Structure 1
Amino acid sequence: MQEFQTNKEDITQSRLIQAPINTVNDGEVLVKVDRFAFTANNITYAAMGDQLQYWQFFPPHGEDAKKWGIIPVWGFADVIESNNTELRVGERLFGYFPPANELVIKPMRVTPASLTDGSAHRAQLPPTYNMYQRVKHEPGYDRANDNQRMLLFPLHMASFCLYDLLKSNDWFGAEQVVIISASSKTSTGLAYGLADDKDAPHVIGLTSDHHLDFVNSIGAYDSALSYDNLEQIDASKPTVIVDMSANADLLSQLHMHLGDNMRYTSNVGLTHWDESRSADGIIKERSHQFFAPSHMQQRMKEWGVDEFNKRSTSYIMKSAAKTVPWLKIKELDGLNSLEDTYQDICDGKIGPDEGLVVVM
């Protein structure tokens, strides 16, 4: 069995190793990974692997295993062996998998719609990431839509949570929303949701020169600027910032430009993962790290799971429908192709209109 691993001290380094054949104990199932998406979001998982426990989901095998980690990916897998009475061979699951051929899951809290992996090493990890959807039980499930679902569902779920955060706080009193790294798919998913809300503030996309034409072309933002022209943002207006980049120097410039009118910053992603994460001038008391699974769990408690699923699914269907016309899906042939492409992903060389899918 092959396993794609990343060096935890230098996430630009990767390796493929041969892992031992899995043993399936009582109550467990063995799934064969069919396909998964790999995006800049996965690089964020690696960059924050220790801080947010992403390295804990799938323990690595091989020599010097402590130096290496397995980046979780969103994808589909099929049950090929079962020692569990509630899950038969042939079940198809959507959820969190390792970039590897197989995974052993211990199904718990099995319902017709979903199950949770009850493996001991995942017990303290966010429940959202331990849940798998039994897709063959979904009305109208169509494998033809798997690629879009893998690529967009996780990212636009975060978009929905950010939209809900902003709206439920009355936009933090802002008259404009600035989204940094506006070409990222989580950013565009958020911008589409804001564009659909007549009460939302003016939305400005901030992006690189290289991606400015793309950001202007997708109909998500009221206006767009390159990083070099951020001083054109009206500093007289109360502003909320959603930062997908984690580029501290850029964020510092924007905070100093806005001054007291910087009302709130949500620190989300790490599209500029290799840039400095600290700089003078950042208003830390009005800046907060955003973690989508925590927001989801809170809303599920307040609204109930069914209501949360209803609202989030409605949002994602609308934002995904606006994304599909410009999204170009590129399929990679297995883990060797992923390893060949991995450096380009780390270097940000994948176009914002591209979506990579690894077919095993």
Structure 2
Amino acid sequence: MISRWTVVVDRDDLTKTEVLHDELTAELEDCEVLLRVSHVGLTANNVTYGVIGDLIGYWRFFPTTAEGRGVIPLWGFADVVESTLDALPAGTRVYGYLPMSSHLVVRAKLTSAGFVDTADHRADLPAVYNSYLVTTNDPAYDEQLEDLQVLYRPLFMTSFLLADQVADNDFYGARTVVISSASSKTAFGTAQCLRDKGVRLVGLTSPRNVEFTSGLGLYDTVLPYDAAVDVEPSVYLDFSGSSDVRATLHDRLGADLVKDISIGLTHQAASQDPRSQFFFAPEQLRKRTADWGSDGLAERFGTAWRSFTAQAAGWVGIARHSGPNELVDVWQSVLQGKANPDTADVITF
């Protein structure tokens, strides 16, 4: 019998949380594996999972019987503690999509890189979230860089795919890219991917984050939100979800705002503005897998990832936390926008 804790949040009010405790008593069925979550990263990206949980299906990955509540997905490492598969013995370390919970049971279908969770409730959800990498099979894995991986790798995949889509469309005829929430990890990962692509990068951020964002050296210009953006043909990459920022840009740029793409929702409001196109990374992932093949995609991403991690270690400091109560504290801090851009949160379970 194994004791498990799970943090659940109110699906209509993400500030309301509760730590639930139960016992895992059932024996594993064929192909099932019990994972013990080791450590995870928590960023504004996880807030997006909650804000659009019903729209994309994020609440369905880790269902709970607690009525009206859900479990926020996180990215991180876990270790096999019990297994019905010889290829995944106890002690195997994996990286992937994990719940705010100490344990997770998966139904594993083996792949060359690890396994896919084929549990019934995940069958029609985006495949990218159902795949788990065994660290010994992952050429990008470095034990010394686990903290960077839990914090940046899922975000950087979004950055990589977004930058690829924009560049593949020749920047929609623009040569300036305006990026909101420019201090956020997914935003500056996108900026890093767009460096030296022949476009001007303008970062918008809160006044308190201008110095940090400028110090990254990724943007040609960094402006506070209330500053005027130059009127020129531009693409807007919206990582904030702020309707006020969007309205201001549309009013100022008019027809020169040639494309408006929504990615993140750090302002915790799902945009319904018809002027904005929602970017869903798994769609671009499927396209590029078809274009390049899995190996070609992995090679291109690996090259970009290594370039990114060579710089990322110097951009932020790691704040370490432990256990469900500190996990809740970090969640509340990120929700309220109190997290500092030069600090990243890693939680050990």
Structure 1-normalised TM-score? 0.92
1:33 aligns with 2:37: yes
Q: Who is 2:164 aligned against? A: 164
Compute the displacement of 1:174 (Å).
Answer: 0.4
Q: Which residue of 1 aligns with 2:304?
A: 315
Q: Deviations over 1:279-310 (max 9, x none)?
A: xxx6x35x310011121122112211111111
1:43 is matched with which residue: 40, 47, 56?
47
Worse overlay, 17-26 or 332-341? 17-26
**Offset of residue 141 of structure 1:** 4.2
> Aligned partners of 2:35, 2:304: CA distance in 1, in Å?
30
In 1: Cα distance, 2:139 partner to 2:96 partner: 18
8 Å contact from structure 1 (residues 112, 134) kept in 2: no
1:57 is matched with which residue?
61
1:8-19 counterparts in 2 under 5 A?
8-19=11-22
Tell me the amino acid that sits aligned with residue 245 of structure 1: S
Is 2:330–2:345's contact at 8 Å kept on the other side of the alignment?
A: no
Note if contact 1:55-1:69 (Cα within 8 Å) is conserved in structure 2.
yes
Report sequence identity in percent: 37
Instruction: Give the AA of the match of 2:123.
Output: A
Aligned residue number for residue 181 of structure 1:
181
Larger CA deviation: 314-323 vs 209-218 = 314-323
- Report SS of the residue matched to 1:60: coil
- Report how far residue 341 of structure 1 moved: 2.8
Q: Which residue, 329, 332, 342 being the options, matches 1:343?
A: 332
Across the aligned residues of Structure 1 and Structure 2, the Cα RMSD in angstroms comes to: 1.5
Q: Give the match's secondary structure for 1:273.
A: coil
Cα distance in 2, alignment partners of residues 215 and 140 from structure 1: 27
Mapped contact 2:114–2:137 kept (Cα < 8 A): no
For these two proteins, the number of residue pairs brought into alignment is 345
Matches of 2:138 and 2:129, distance apart in 1: 19
1:149-194, Cα deviation, whole Å (9 max, x unpaired): 0101011111101110111000111021100110000111111121
Aligned amino acid, residue 79 of structure 2: D
Q: Is the 8 A contact 2:42 2:331 kept in 1?
A: no
Distance 2:25 2:93 in 1: 19
Q: Which has the higher strand share?
A: 2
Q: Which runs of 4+ in 1 moved over 4 A?
A: none
CA deviations 1:296-348 (Å, max 9, x no partner) are 12211221111111111211221222221021111111111111332211101
1:211 partner amino acid: N
- Provide the C-alpha distance between the structure 2 equivalents of 1:304 and 1:102, rounded to a whole number of angstroms: 34
CA distance in 2, matches of 1:354, 1:22: 39
Moved more, 17-26 or 184-193: 17-26
Conserved? CA contact 1:171–1:200, under 8 Å: no
Question: Partner letter of residue 328 of structure 2?
Answer: E
1:234 to 227, 230, 243: 230
Q: Could you say if the C-alpha distance between residues 142 and 193 of structure 1 is closer, same or farther in structure 2, counting changes exceeding 3 Å?
A: closer
| Structure 2 residue aligned with 1:105 | 106
**Deviations, residues 223-264 of structure 1 (Å, cap 9, x unaligned):** 1110111x2x221x2100100011012101101100011100
Counterpart for residue 221 of structure 2: 223
Q: Deviations over 1:24-58 (max 9, x none)?
A: 11211111111111111101101111111000000
Extract unaligned runs of 5+ from structure 2: none
Q: What is the distance in 2 between the residues matched to 1:40 and 1:19?
A: 28
Residue 194, structure 1, aligned to residue 197, structure 2 = no
Residue 121 of structure 2 is matched in structure 1 by 121
Show the counterpart of 1:292: 281
Q: 1:78 to 1:263 in 2, by over 3 A?
A: same
Q: Which residue of 2 aligns with 1:83?
A: 84
